[in-house]
Structure 1
C-alpha cells in the first residue's frame, strides 16, 4: 500500500516538473520563438487558411451566393476536366515541359558550381558569380523583352542578321518546333547561376582532409571529383530533385504565360495557363479549383514516391 501511495503521489510531481521544464526552456529561447512567429503566421495565412477554399472544387460556385451558399455538385467539376478534349494535350505539355526543365536545368547548376569551386583567383571568381547570378533577379517580362529584341519576326537582331545574309526568315517565337527549347534555354540562362549557390554551399561543407588524403594516395583532380566531390553533393542533388518532381505539374506558369502565343498553343498551353483563362478571364472558379486539387494530389503522390525511391537507392530523402 505504501508503494502504491508513493507511486500515485509522485505523478503530479512529475507533471509539475515537466511543465516547469517546458516553461524554463520557452523563456530561455523566447527570442528564437519570437523569430518563428512571422514564418508561422505566413504559412497559416497564405497556405493553411486558403485550404478551406478547396470546397469550391466540389460546388457550382456563384459569386452572389458565396462559397458556403453555392450548390454542391460533388465530382461533376472533375468529370468536366477529365472529359474535356483539351485535357490530354494540357497534361502532356505540362509534363513534357517540366521533365525538360528537370533533365536540362539541374546539370548546369552542378557544372557551374564545380567550375566556380575550382577557380582560385578570387577577383575573377566574384566577377563570374556576379554575371551568372544577375539574370535570376530579372523578371520574366524583362527576359521576354530581351528575347523579343533578338528574335522578333522580321525586326529582331538575330532574325535581321539571318535575312541580310540570305539565310531566310528565322521564326523562333511563333514556331511550335522551337517553343519548348526556347523555354528551357531561357530558364537555364536565368536560373543556373542562382541554383549553383546551393551546390557551392554543399561543396564548402566537404572535409578538406579527404582531398589531402586523396593527394597522398596519388589521386588526380578527376579522381577527387569522382570519389569525393560528387558524393559530397549527392544528398543535396537528390533533395532538390525530389522537390522539383513535386512541382512537375506546375511547369513554370509565369514564363509560359508570357512566352505563349496563339501559334504555339498546341505545344505550350499547360494546366496553369488553362486555369488562368477559365478562372480569371472567364470568371469560372469551380472547374479551375478542381484542376488545382488534381494538381496538388498528383504532386503529393510524386513527392512521396520520389522520397521512397531516393531512400531505396541510398539517399536520405526529405523525411
Structure 2
C-alpha cells in the first residue's frame, strides 16, 4: 500500500475525494483538509446514512493508508478498545518458571523482578484498535475510525481523551506509548445522545446532513450510472418527500442507491403505486414506518414526486453545493449505514 501525499488545498481535497466517488461539499472538504494539515481528529455528527463512516474509508484509500476501525457498542471498555493483558499466556509463563525454578519461589529479588518485568512486557500485550493506531512501530500513519461513538457508554469517552489530545496511551504496567506518526482520526456519531464537550474540544466538528435534491440526483447518477433521468428524478423526489415525514428511521443515501438498484432489477422505468408498495422494505427498515406509508400517504408522495421530477435540475458537477456521500459502488463491499 503506497503512501500518497496530503491534498494541497480544499479544491484538491474535493477533486481527490471525487476521484474515489465521494462527492464532498466545500464545507466538509475544508474540515477534512484542515484535519489533515493540523493533525486534529475530525468529529462527524449527523443522521444515519449520510456518509460519515464512508469518509474514513475513502480517506484511507485516497492516501494509501491502512484503515483501523473501532466499532463502538454498549459496554465497550479499555480492554476492548485499547489493550488487554494475555492472562492465559502469563499463567503459562508462571507455570514454566515454576517447573524450571526460575523466578517463582526464587530466593533472589532480582529473579522475581525479572519474571515480573517479563510478564508485563509487550510479548504478553494484546493490542486493540486504539493502541494499534498509535503503535510507534507503524511505518505510516493509519486512518483510525472511531465509529458510532454515541453507542458506547459515556464513561468510555474518558478513555479517548489522552488518545485524541496527545496521540498516546498510558499503560500503568508498561509506561506511556506515544505515536511517532500520529493517526488520522475520524469519529462519528448518530447523535442518539450528546457526546461530552471534552471530546469535542479535541476535534474539528462537522454536521453531516442529508443532501438536497440536486446533490442526491448527482450522487445517484454517479453511483448507478445505468439509471434513466426520469426514474432517477422520481426516486430522488420521492425520497426527499419521505424525509419531511416524521418516521422512526429516515432513509439515507445508501437506501436511495439500494432502492434504485432494486427498481432497475424489476425493470421499472418510472415509479408507480404497485412497485412502490412492494419495494418499501428496501427503503424503510421498520414496520411502523412501512405501515404509515401504505395507501394514501405513499400515493400523495408519488404524485408529488411525479410533478417535481418534471422540473428536476440537472446533476451538478463534483464539488458543488450540498452534502456529500456517493455510497458504495456496484460490486464493492457495503457496511451498514453510519
TM range, smaller chain:
under 0.3
More helix by share: 1
Q: TM-score, normalised by structure 2?
A: 0.26
TM-score under structure 1 length normalisation: 0.27
